[in-house]
Amino acid sequence: MRKKILIADDEDSIRELVRVTLEEEGYEIHEALDGVEALAKVEAVVPDLVILDILMPGKVGYIVCREIKSSEETKHIHVLCLSSRSNVGAIETMKMFGADDFLAKPFEPRSLREKVKQALRRA
């Protein structure tokens, strides 16, 4: 069975880059445009991994991550945060809200593939 990945980002170009990169690896891809849609898709799809932008409309990524990690049904889902904010404070805040890993924007497709493989091995 193919691993399911939810990409939650309000930037079309980022979602497309992530989708194309990961479809080439054989993953089943689902997408959300904002935090509210991301939480709905997490419940509907129950992905193995959520790739989550931090600054999104609706609900910001920190809150989405906290809600994923605080639910018995979804706390096992690995969350990889994407953000252009890559300072130590931002990374620590993401971890405080339950993020499992972090990838700074802009990123190379190779780096994304490596992070996803690591995440799914741990999931």
In this predicted model, what pLDDT tens digit does every residue of 10-49 receive, in sequence order? 999 999 999 999 999 999 999 999 999 999 999 999 999 9
Query: What distance in Å separates the CA atoms of residue 122 and residue 40, rounded to the nearest whole number?
Result: 24
| E strand or H helix that includes residue 34 | none
90-105 CB burial, b ≥16 within 10 A, e <16: bbebbeebbbbbbbee
What domains appear along the chain, each with residue ranges and CATH number?
Answer: 4-122 (3.40.50.2300)
Q: pLDDT tier at 84 (50, 70, 90 boundaries)?
A: confident
Q: How many Å from the N-terminal Cα to the C-terminal Cα in the chain?
A: 15
C-alpha angle 93/94/96, rounded to 5°?
60
Split at pLDDT 50, 70, 90, the class of 66 is very high
% of the chain exceeding 90 in pLDDT: 87
Q: What is the largest CA-CA distance in the chain?
A: 38
